[in-house]
Amino acid sequence: MKFLGGSQPPKSEHIYENKSGYVRFIQNRDYNSEGHLTYIKESKKNKLCSRYDIMMDKYGEAGKVRFGIDGAYNVALAKIQPVDENLQEYIREFFSQEDVEKYLSNSSIASTRASVSEENLNNMYIKIPDSIVLANFQNRHHKMIEYILNIKEENKKLRDLKDLYLKKFFS
């Protein structure tokens, strides 16, 4: 797998409403809340991810696995990109295990702040099942990820509708 770190444009280039020529700028906190939406200019310097990519906190909750947002990701995140696409969901599930997240967090502790690196990942052994089991896992788990993302989207639409109605009837 590849460990692809993010990029960090200057804060002076951040905007807080989406407009043409800009892309969502993803930070760790965005996986828990949409209260800090940020956008940056589209650029070849940006490191991009899709909502299906395996993202990992390098800082903050070092080792925490994330997914579900499209955009450009910052330096506090890294994309874990399997060389073989059939390993995507298996690797996501492996790194999502509580013991593995704890190991990554503990092994990344530095004198100033915890930081997961490619070296932390290279020191791990991941036993890969045979191709039939792996293909079955990939197929089923990808469907679960799609289901989770669809539910999150539906919940967001419902929250937006609730807010709209509350504003309309109580303003």
Mean pLDDT of 11-34: 94
Residue 110 scores a pLDDT above 70: no
- Binned at pLDDT 50, 70 and 90, residue 113 comes out as low
Report the distance separating Cα 97 and Cα 101, nearest Å. Answer: 6
Given this model, what pLDDT does residue 60 score?
Answer: 81
Given this model, what pLDDT does residue 119 score?
Answer: 84
What are residue 77's DSSP bridge partners?
Answer: 57
- 58-89 residue pLDDT tens: 988 889 999 999 999 999 999 999 999 999 99
Coarse DSSP helix, strand, coil percentages of the chain, rounded to the nearest 5 percent: 45, 15, 40
Mean pLDDT of 1-22: 94
Structure tokens at 28: 């760790």
The larger pLDDT score, comparing residue 13 to residue 112, is at: 13
List the chain domain ranges. Answer: 2-127
| Sheet strands side by side (includes 22-26) | 39-41, 22-26, 71-73, 48-49
The 3-state DSSP class for residue 79 equals strand
Report the distance separating Cα 107 and Cα 127, nearest Å. Answer: 20
Nearest-10 crossing angle of helices 98-107, 88-96 = 70
- For CA atoms 133, 139, 143, 148, the dihedral sign is positive
Mean pLDDT of 10-35: 94
Domain topology for 2-127: Adenine-n6-DNA-methyltransferase TaqI; Chain A, domain 2 (3.90.220)
Count, in order, helices (H) and strands (E) of the chain: 4, 8
